[in-house]
A and B are shown apart, each in its own frame.
Chain A
Amino acid sequence: MISRREFCHKAVIAVGGIMIPLTALELFDPRRLAAEKGGSGTTRWAFLVDAHKCVGCGFCVKSCKIENQTPYDSNVSRTWVERYVVTKDGNTYIDSPKACRDGFTTTKIDQNHQGMKDIRTEDVAKAFFVPKLCNQCDNPPCVQVCPVGATYQTEDGVVLVDRSWCIGCGYCVMGCPYGVRFFHPEHHVAEKCNFCYHRITKGMKTACVDACPFGARRIGNLRDKDDPVTKVIMTERVNVLKEEYGTKPQVFYLGLSMEVK
């Protein structure tokens, strides 16, 4: 026999469980599925990084942190610059002190708990800098894993986070293969680069693009055939990060080296 209390208890759980995916009962609309596949708007933002041009000054990181109010002295940042030093004996050393907020000012390479490694000039085979930011993937895995619909993609391809809706579960932080997501130290919700959505939707460039003195960062609209960035992406030998993951990243790199992870 089921007791009265037990009955109410089970009924609440069962009804609640049915209620959560209630929106899934919405009628299926093929037009929406089409939009999901192709996208119809006139804008699709894409980013072009020319790794040949970067000197690792970190002005992009500095301006990003100030523009987007990421606490300046915290170690997290929406964008960062990595230094790769390949030695003649075939080792690769990578670091990004403070996300490169103050640039690279020493030859010593931060190897975390192994301390600072100073590589002698004559041992350096090659060295280069690689700026990183959110790839605004066409198939964003971070969006797929969000259980509450707090992160999503806009029509123009930018992945945003709804700060009031995020529950801070951290699935998206784990789900991003590029490690661009982190918890905002003040808002305590998932945070990521959004191509300075408040700037690009006003016709401006992102803060990092405006800050870069060397033209290593550019942003453009893939759906505009005359956009200079689109032309470069369509006609030159560009590369993306971790193509094998099938995320279809929309940050394209010129001069990417095989050591870059």
Chain B
Amino acid sequence: MKNHVLRPLIVVGVIVASMLVARAIVVPSDFGVHERGYMYGWHRLSNEQEWKAVQVRYKTSAGCPRCHPDKAADLANSPHNIISCENCHGPALEHPKDPAGYFIDRSRTLCIRCHAKLPYGNTPRGRIRGIDPDKHYVQAECVMCHIPHNPKPTNQKQEVKS
């Protein structure tokens, strides 16, 4: 073959080869079409494992009664028994190891997310006993007067009244 045909062909061959090598290095070996097929299944398979390995922070309140039976019993007999411990105390993570001083949320924000009065009678929200957060003892934390684990029988509300 003539030189002026051969040389460009070699150049192109080298370019193709180098790009194939680059591609093999950049694209992970498990990248390809997986279970959901051509349309939705193009991906790097090991990414599924990466997502499965994300740390679980909220451990649910199933384990709490073992070490805090008094609190669990109080809560179980109160109108707050529907609320998971972790909603008010934050994610358990490795508690009691970590976080060391487990979180206690005494802020008014915690309570008014359910108890700020909203006049929506057609929703269950309208039926939860509500207060006006701008008027109901604004200066103090709710838990000064109400016991969060059992707001019903033994709270200071009764003491204030009697």
A residues contacting B by CB (< 8 A) are 7-8, 11-12, 15-16, 19, 22-23, 26, 32-33, 35-37, 39-41, 52-59, 62-63, 66-68, 85, 102-107, 121, 124, 126-129, 140, 143-144, 149-155, 160, 162, 164-165, 194, 197-199, 201-202, 204-205, 207, 210-211, 213-214
Contact = CB atoms under 8 A, between A and B. Distances in A.
B91 A67 contact: yes
Contact of B113 (A7, A12, A102, A201): A102
Interface string B63-98: 000000000000000000011101100110000000
B40 A36 contact: yes
Given A153-B41, A162-B43, 12 more contacts: A26-B32, A36-B38, A39-B36, A52-B123, A55-B128, A63-B91, A67-B58, A103-B114, A105-B133, A127-B118, A127-B123, A149-B42
Nearest to B133: A105
A211 B57 CA distance: 12
B38 A160 contact: no
Given A107-B118, A143-B40, A152-B41, A58 B113 contact: yes
A81 to B, nearest CB: 11
B128 to A, nearest CB: 6
A210 B63 CA distance: 14
Main secondary structure of the interface of B (DSSP, over half): mixed
B55 interface: yes
Nearest to A138: B40
Contacts of A12: 15
Given A67-B57, A197-B51, A59 B116 contact: no
Given A105-B133, A154-B48, A214 B124 contact: yes
A213 B88 CA distance: 12
Interface residues of B, number: 54
A121 B97 CA distance: 49
Interface stretch (B16-24, B140-148, B149-157): B16-24
Contact of A126 (B16, B84, B122): B122
B34 interface: yes
Interface in B23-67: 23, 31-44, 47-48, 51-58, 60
A140 to B, nearest CB: 6
Given A66-B58, A204-B56, A19 B23 contact: yes
A197 B54 contact: yes
A67 B92 CA distance: 11
Contacts of A205: 60
Contacts of A104: 113, 116, 118, 125
Contact of A154 (B15, B16, B35, B87): B35
